[in-house]
Structure 1
Amino acid sequence: MMKTKEKILLKALELFNEKGYTTITTRHIAAELNISPGNLHYHFKHSEDIIKILFQELVLKMDELLNTMKEMENNTLENLYQFTFSTCKIFYSFRFIFVNFVDILKEIPEIRSQYEEIHTSRKEEFQMIFSGLQKNNIFKKDVPEFMMDSLIQQIFIIADNWLTHNRLILKLDQEAAISHYTLLQMNLFYPFLNKEQQKLYEKQYITPTP
């Protein structure tokens, strides 16, 4: 049976995603769960405390995904696609964080400092994954270091901001958004693939124009 704390986190995530974290208070969450505000405050004094836990859950899910990718000895193009697709799914399920990213980092210093640390560690993890893809002849071996650094920065920029772009511009539903932005991020890798992998990429992921 789900504990009250878990119910609060699930309902908060749902409400934050639907209506934005700035419009949802702990009282709203308590009312949706048919519990008293006092019962909720026993577990979380402020909505910021809930956001901290949800951010931790996001980080843990990404840690698990990255660890799986790093542990694979012979990653393929399909592994890279599935990793990117899974990342987009995870990000979508915590979309309020990214849509309100600047405000959350500004208002909750603890999350900001954690994000800065994560940014550094993620860069090293991506370098390790891409090095493995070069060894497996998925990526070209003669990629200049500055291009690899740029690729990692581009991934971070798109990953952290595609949900805002979708909300403002494309307005795609969940399934269409995840598919579209997965491919958009995958297209970043195309110039780094060897010729054989580029042909495979076009065949598997690029829909022919009628």
Structure 2
Amino acid sequence: MARDIEPAAPEEFGLVQVWWGDGKGKTTAALGMAMRAVGHGYRVHLLQLMKGGAASVESVRGEYNAIAALPGFSYENAGHYGWHAMNDGSADADHEREARAGLDRARDLVAAAGEADLDAPLDPEGSPEDGVNMLVVDELLYAADRGLVSPGEVVELVESKPESLELVLTGSHTRPEYLLDHADLVTRVAKEKHPIDAGQRARKGTEF
């Protein structure tokens, strides 16, 4: 039975989660978990890297509209049009610039959480600079895998995390060995079969 959402402070947040693999569902899983947290009155922010749009994907993703309708959930996109190292008309230097800006933004949000009182309920309408209980940095591991940011910088971000912040990192088809000793949860999303291999383009409502 549903009930009204009241701002609350989580009692057991503070872990580092890593979602990687060549299967579809890393971002989807993180968003589902974020929605669950928001349903308990916790403050969540989604920061997306690498996802700046492409010819087969609309710039306004379905999750953005859904997030805007949920109290306590906010998002921002630090991606660049196209995809790094692909012949899609985008410049790799632009991808690197945007990825580094995204990492800097993640650092600022982690630092802001460290300044906030995460043991007290946070204002669902407040800015993420006022603190969040869960920060999802989507596709950061892809940026590290492609050399747009360094693995060491990702580790530094994790190590700077305040104790009560739940930090969720996604991306990369390559196992992030550099994070295994720093993460509390590591999930590999493995592909058995994917319609993209048969030429299916990204579909509205499932991929964006």
Richer in helix (by share): 1
Higher strand proportion, which one?
Answer: 2
- Bigger Rg over Cα: 1
- Regarding TM over 0.5, the answer is no
TM-score of the aligned structures, taking structure 2 as reference length: 0.35
Q: Which has the higher contact order (CA 8 A, sep 6+)?
A: 2
